[in-house]
Amino acid sequence: MEESISQLIEVCENIYDKQLVSGKSGNVSVRLGDYIAITPTLKSLNNLKEEDIVLVDMESNVLTKGNPSSEVNMHLNVYKKRSDVNAIVHTHSPYVTGFAFSSKKLKRLEGFGEIKNPYLPSIEYEKPGTLELANSVSNNIKEEDVLILKKHGVICVGKNLKEAESLAVFIEESAKTQFVSYMLNSVEDIE
Q: Which residues are catalytic?
A: 71
146: β partners: 156
Beta carbon of residue 22, minimum distance to Zn ion (angstroms, whole number): 12
Smallest gap from Cβ 115 to Zn ion, in A, equals 26
Q: In the window 68-127, what residues touch Zn ion (CB under 5 A)? A: none
Of 142-181, which residues contact Zn ion (CB under 5 A)? Answer: 153
Rounded Cα distance, 143 and 56, in Å: 25
Q: Give 93 or 174: the residue with its C-beta nearer to Zn ion.
A: 93
The dihedrals phi and psi of 165, each to the nearest 5 degrees, come to -65, -50
DSSP 65: S
Residue number, 122 or 177, with CB nearest to Zn ion: 122
- Please, which residue, 34 or 129, has the CB nearer to Zn ion? 129
Query: Judged by CB under 5 A, how many residues of this single chain contact Zn ion?
Result: 1
* Pair 108, 119: CB distance under 8 Å: yes
Give me the least distance between CB of 2 and Zn ion, in Å please: 27
Side chain identity at residue 122, one-letter code: S
In the chain the first and final C-alpha atoms are separated, in Å, by 61
Contacts to Zn ion by CB under 5 A: 153
